[in-house]
Amino acid sequence: MYSYRAPLRDIRFVVHELLDFEQNYRAYGRDELNRELLDGILDEGARFAEDVLAPTNRVGDEYGLKFEDGQVSTPPGFKEAYDRYCEDGWITMTADPEWGGQGLPGGFTLAFGEMLCSGNMAWKMYSGLTESATLTIEAHAPDDVKRTYLPKMVKGEWSGTMCLTEAHSGTDLGLLRTKAEPRADGTFAITGTKIFISAGEHDLTKNIVHLVLARLPDAPPGTRGISLFVVPKFLPDANGDAGAANGVRCGSIEHKMGIRASPTCVMHFNDSVGWLIGKANEGLACMFTMMNHARLGVGLQGQGLSELAWQASIAYANDRLQGRAMTGPKEPGKPADPIIVHPDVRRMLLTQKAFVEGGRVLCLLTGREIDSAHMNTDADARRRSNDLIAFLTPIVKGFLTDVAMEVTSLAVQIHGGAGFIRETGVEQLMRDARITPIYEGTNGVQALDLLGRKVFGTGGKSQQMISARIVESMQKFGSLPEVAPLAAELGKRLEQWGKLTGELGAAATRSPDEVGAAATDYLQIAGYMMLGWCWLVAAGVATKKLAENPDDDFYKAKLVTARHYFARILPRVDSHSAAARAGAAGLMALTADQFAIA
């Protein structure tokens, strides 16, 4: 059974050497966010993730949740870890000081978020959803609602959920039926049943604040008739504490293949009192504040699980003795060599390493833009950062969760038969990872968002903007002999990507099916290109560091991994490009009946 160790050396490499968060904060006039402070957060955060959280991960999977009389009990250790998370101030870290937060930058703290997801992804969901709900209330709710809910939620005394899904309304939220009837006092009576609600009921907090999508009586059909409401489990009393029950009941929890310690609840709302957030019938737009935040959070879950799977794999590959190296014994004193001597095992390990370390750069690069969007004093720069975040969000969510499936599956493979049995723990990672391409908008939906809205919706400008950023990095590092071949390769593919984007744009004018037919492959291409960019920059910085200290193994490994990425992973772009060009006709050729087995 593996144990988790926070990858602090690599996180610091990305935070300081690649992206230089400290310098950015200085440019925004936030000198107090210096390296010492950032490192302090990383060190203490690592301790929390390793010592407090990680020991609960296996327990949560083994023990699961107890459901009795509408109440959910979390696994042993969960409440203690949650209380500690609140008491030690982790939960208030990024929230606005106006509501009791510490105002630390949310982009940088993604590094801590990754550690929490590695430590225990199922546990992290409780506070992660609260954070997303808090941001949504802050952005869209009337002042009195903010005053009532935000101080409690920021402290973690009350938690949050997002209630979108209904039995007949998953991806297609336009179908949802939950009703909101106006009441004389300006509040609304919410009635309906939501399914699959994460953390809809649990014993970690004194109150649970549901953000519920529902329809007003005169609402137009479809997505233009959806409004957003705050519906607490317990109504706030005169002192602002959790008071009378509000007709919100958990009917059951799902039995699932993964994240078994995160309750996935059927939630019944019966004339429950709700407060409107944002304007009537514009609830979906408000909910996007929550969804975009949660989408990055799900990408981070993929990243955290990939890191953990990689750590388990490398430990096992050094320990397990099977066969001899093809070039002769490496450990003649032992009955066999460790499996890390075999090229095929190395192929798997290096692929994991390339995805994990590249994915970390992508997450934190997005984080740097998030901080710029909030803190930059230049309005134009803030707008550019927001455009970049919009483009990167479906990639972080869609690509890094697909990557997590591959990396966790490779972990099982590296463990051989031992990977398939429960004892080693890696099968849990694969099971936990499987939900990440599904929830928060399936990866098919992320792909449509990327190609349809973010690329074609901007007339291709977003793709050109990101390409220009990549070219800047190629110019910065391309003259280094170690980086030049990588830059040439990336430049060639960048040109091909631009051409493909134009071709698909032309095809899309002929039929919208062409967008749907190409979208998933396009998202994969975008993901591989982003990681190509990340690895180019990592190779550039590592080369410069090696010039100062040629024996530094950390930087040597960076260069080897970058070359592995460019030689063996980036070429996947070619097959995805061919598939993206194949068009919709073949996919749409069969009638639904013709699909059936004869």
Stretch that binds ligand FAD, among 79-87, 194-202, 343-351, 390-398 (CB under 6 A): 194-202
* Cβ atoms 378, 124 nearer than 8 A: no
Q: Which is nearer to ligand FAD, 209 or 317 (CB)?
A: 209
- Is residue 317 within 8 Å of 13, Cβ to Cβ? no
Strand blocks (E) in 119-255: 158-163, 179-182, 188-198, 207-214, 227-232, 234-236, 242-245, 248-253
User: Which span (111-119, 434-442, 546-554, 560-568) binds ligand FAD, by CB under 6 A?
Assistant: 434-442
Binding mask 535-574 for ligand FAD (x = CB under 6 A): ----------------------------------------
Closest CA to 240 of 149, 136, 154: 149
Name the residue with the smallest CB distance to ligand FAD: 170
The C-alpha angle with vertex 78 and arms to 72 and 81, in degrees rounded to 5, equals 145
Q: Is 439 in the site for ligand FAD (CB under 6 A)?
A: yes
Range 510-545 burial, b when 16+ CB lie within 10 A, else e: eeeebbbbbbbbbbbbbbbbbbbbbbbbbbbbbbeb
| Residue range at the interface with ligand FAD (CB under 6 A); choices 65-73, 387-395, 407-415, 438-446 | 438-446
List the x/- string, 243-262, binding to ligand FAD by CB under 6 A: -------------x------
Q: Which stretch binds ligand FAD (CB under 6 A): 114-122, 196-204, 280-288, 387-395?
A: 196-204
Instruction: Kindly state the smallest distance separating residue 165's Cβ from ligand FAD, in Å.
Output: 4
Q: Write out the binding residues for ligand FAD, residues 197-236 only, by CB under 6 A.
A: 197-198
Closest approach of ligand FAD to the CB of residue 439, in Å? 4
Cβ-based nearer residue to ligand FAD, 425 or 441: 441
Minimum CB distance to ligand FAD smaller for 256 or for 382:
256
Locate 159 and state its tokens: 């938690």
> In this structure, how many other beta carbons lie within 10 angstroms of the beta carbon of residue 179?
17
Using the minimum distance from each CB to ligand FAD, give the nearer residue, 171 or 475: 171
Whose Cβ is closer to ligand FAD: residue 298's or residue 486's?
Answer: 298
Residue 509 C-beta-side C-alpha neighbours within 13 Å: 6
- The CA distance from 286 to 140, in Å, is 7
Alpha carbons within 13 angstroms on the beta-carbon side of residue 465 total 18
Q: How far is the CB of 27 from ligand FAD (least distance, A)?
A: 37
Among 73, 386, 413, 442, binds ligand FAD (CB under 6 A): 442
Half-sphere exposure of 151 (CA within 13 A, CB side): 10
Sequential DSSP letters for 309-371: HHHHHHHHHHH-B-S--TTS-S-TTSSS-BGGGSHHHHHHHHHHHHHHHHHHHHHHHHHHHHH
- The one among 444, 452, 505, 583 contacting ligand FAD by CB under 6 A: 444
Contact 426, 419 (CB under 8 A): yes
> Applying CB under 6 A, which part among 87-95, 193-201, 393-401, 474-482 lies near ligand FAD?
193-201
3-class secondary-structure state, position 229: strand
Give dist(CA 387, CA 195) in Å, integer: 33
The CA distance from 333 to 349, in Å, is: 25
Characterise 553 by phi-psi region: left (phi > 0), alpha (psi -120 to 50), beta (else).
alpha
User: Considering the complex, what minimum distance in angstroms separates the CB of residue 269 from ligand FAD?
Assistant: 13
Active-site option among 114, 357, 440, 514: 440
In whole angstroms, how close is the CB of 301 to ligand FAD at the nearest point? Answer: 11
Name which of 196 and 477 has its Cβ closer to ligand FAD: 196
CB of 528 to ligand FAD, least distance (A): 21
- Residue window 259-278: x/- pattern of binding to ligand FAD, with contact defined by CB under 6 A: -----x--------------
Residue 308 to residue 433: CA distance in whole angstroms:
11
Number of residues located near ligand FAD, criterion CB under 6 A: 19
Please select the residue that binds ligand FAD; options are 59, 445, 560, 579, rule is CB under 6 A.
Answer: 445
In the block, residue with structure tokens 């190509």: 532
Phi and psi dihedrals of 182, rounded to 5? -65, 140
Contact with ligand FAD (CB under 6 A) among 196, 310, 355, 555:
196
The stretch among 64-72, 107-115, 433-441, 505-513 that binds ligand FAD (CB under 6 A) is 433-441
- Min dist CB 256 to ligand FAD, Å, is 6
B/e letters for 259-283, b = 16+ CB within 10 Å, e = fewer, are bbbbbbbbbbbeebbbbbbbebbeb
Residues 145-184 that bind ligand FAD (CB under 6 A): 161-165, 170-171
String of DSSP letters for 411-436? HHHHTTHHHHSGGGSHHHHHHHHTTT
Q: Which of 435, 450, 500, 580 binds ligand FAD (CB under 6 A)?
A: 435
User: How many angstroms separate the CA atoms of 538 and 530, rounded?
Assistant: 12
Pick the piece of the chain touching ligand FAD (CB under 6 A) from 91-99, 108-116, 442-450, 483-491. Answer: 442-450
**β pairing state of 227-232 and 188-198:** unpaired
- Shorter beta-carbon distance to ligand FAD: residue 215 or 493: 215
440 is catalytic: yes
Binding site for ligand FAD (CB under 6 A): 161-165, 170-171, 196-198, 256, 264, 435, 438-439, 441-442, 444-445
Active-site amino acid positions: 440
